[in-house]
Amino acid sequence: MVSRRFYINISARIILMMITCILFGLAVFRLPNPSVLALLGLLIPVEAYLLIRYLNAINRKLEQFFIMHLSGDVTTSFTASGKTDEFEGLYSYFRRINDKLESSRVESEIRNNYFKTIVDHTSTGLISFTKEGRVELFNDAARKIFRINVLRTLEKLDQFKDGFSDTLKAIKPGESQLINLIIDDDLVQLSTRKAIFRTGNIDLHLVSFQNIKNELEQQEIVSWQKLIRVLTHEIMNSITPIITLVATLTRIFRHKDSGKIKSINELTEHNLEKTMRGLDIIENRGNGLVHFVRNFRSVAILPKPEFQILNLQDMFTRIKDLHEEILAEKHIQAKIECPQSLHIQADGKLIEQVLINLFKNGIEAVNGIPAPEIRMSAQNIENQTVIEVEDNGIGITDYAMQHMFVPFFTTKVGGSGIGLSLSKQIIRLHGGSIGVQSSPGKTVFTIKI
């Protein structure tokens, strides 16, 4: 760390002090001259002070080095005062440490700039904050969403919605939440997700925001288009023949040339019979429309679920027993794969209605195929109950897959088209989801609650 010159210097100073002390002792006992004693007595503390000061030179250099680095200064250069400076070795270590720290600082700055660039260029809004609400990160996408340039505290977001900051703090890690806000008179629909991580001794909450208003509106438009298309089809199927029939009946009771109403004597028994048949048809089609409207109401208005603890294996068994005769008649094998201990919290009547609908669909799907089979299963995956109803039928066409959850869409003769739509709404009321995968020989409806 230090040169040989340092050790020689220290040794010389110690020897000089020893010689001075010996001379002071001799002067006291053999030559008690006051002037000599005063001079030697003064030299001893001076030499001790200089020795201590010289020894503290290394401590001062170390102290200077650490103070500068604690203050963040890694650019100061340590150089020797001369060619034979005894601290050249120490300076060399300082310079090497400085070079490493400077290199690490530059690399860290490059990484920070790199990640900052990524964060600012992402289209997802990001806000990180402490549990007290102090904001540490507020990227460009978040600035554009909230239309503010600086955000120091999370409470500033309460200007858009009362309690918004508390809502962000309360979101659980990994949980997604849809939040509606009014920003500058515009509706903003934010899909949020949170993560919590520790940096140093501080827990930071990182919330991501995506404005999905346009996507939701587009999906809503597509859904309405599908629904209107189905409604138009159903209504036109009833109204068109009624209008045609009414026109035909009108011609029976009016003169073709003058348009005047015929008298009773001009009407024949055949005219009356034809009129009655026409009225019967109008009544039937009217009842059909009434039934259609009732079905529409059943889709639009669902009862609020009454939650209770349900044993899924018992429910599966009841559904299988309910269809025992038709299963035996069509030689369909029904399998149940579910642990006896598996329970869910749900509305038993509504969930059973969904499963019965899916089970009936399975029965229809395997009609006419060899070795027909339907399987009902349930398991717990990552704190989520996954229920599957599978059949080995012919599968579902791509067109039907795109429309099967649209109200009143059906590919069945005489079907109402509300079963799967109702099922989807029921599962949503339970905070879950329902989906389907299909290929020839295998169709699986999956419910996650």
Q: Which CATH class is domain 308-448?
A: alpha beta
Matching fold, domains 122-211 and 308-448: no
- Paired residues of 257 in beta bridges: none
Write down the pLDDT at residue 136.
Answer: 86
Q: What is the pLDDT of residues 411-433, one digit of tens each?
A: 665 555 567 777 888 888 888 88
CATH architecture for the domain at 122-211? 2-Layer Sandwich (3.30)
Write down the pLDDT at residue 145.
Answer: 85
- Burial-class residue 375 by CB neighbours within 10 Å (0-12, 13-18, 19+): middle
Write down the pLDDT at residue 225.
Answer: 65
Write down the pLDDT at residue 79.
Answer: 53
**Which tokens hold the place of 129?**
């904050």
Write down the pLDDT at residue 376.
Answer: 92
Instruction: Give a three-class secondary structure readout of the chain.
Output: CCCHHHHHHHHHHHHHHHHHHHHHHHHHHCCCCHHHHHHHHHHHHHHHHHHHHHHHHHHHHHHHHHHHHHCCCCCCCCCCCCCCCCCHHHHHHHHHHHHHHHHHHHHHHHHHHHHHHHHHHCCCEEEEEECCCEEEEECHHHHHHHCCCCCCEHHHHHHCCCCHHHHHHHCCCCCEEEEEEEECCEEEEEEEEEEEEEECCEEEEEEEEEECHHHHHHHHHHHHHHHHHHHHHHHHHHHHHHHHHHHHHHHHHECCCCCCECCHHHCCHHHHHHHHHHHHHHHHHHHHHHHHHHHHHHHHCCCCCCCEEEEHHHHHHHHHHHCHHHHHHCCCEEEEECCCCCEEEECHHHHHHHHHHHHHHHHHHCCCCCCCEEEEEEEEECCEEEEEEEECCCCCCHHHHHHCCCCCCCCCCCCCCCHHHHHHHHHHHCCCEEEEEEECCEEEEEEEC
**Separation between Cα atoms, residue 105 and residue 108, nearest integer Å:** 5
> Please, are residues 330 and 374 in contact by the beta-carbon 8 Å criterion?
no
Query: Which segments of the chain have a pLDDT < 70?
Result: 1-3, 6, 31, 58, 61-62, 65-66, 68-91, 93-94, 112, 114-116, 118-121, 213-231, 233-235, 237-238, 241, 285, 288, 291-303, 403, 406-418
pTM above threshold 0.85:
no
Write down the pLDDT at residue 389.
Answer: 92
Write down the pLDDT at residue 73.
Answer: 58
The domain locations on the chain are 4-101, 122-211, 217-300, 308-448
Write down the pLDDT at residue 390.
Answer: 92
Long-range contacts of residues 180-184, Cβ cutoff 8 Å, at least 24 apart? 183/145, 183/146, 183/147, 184/147
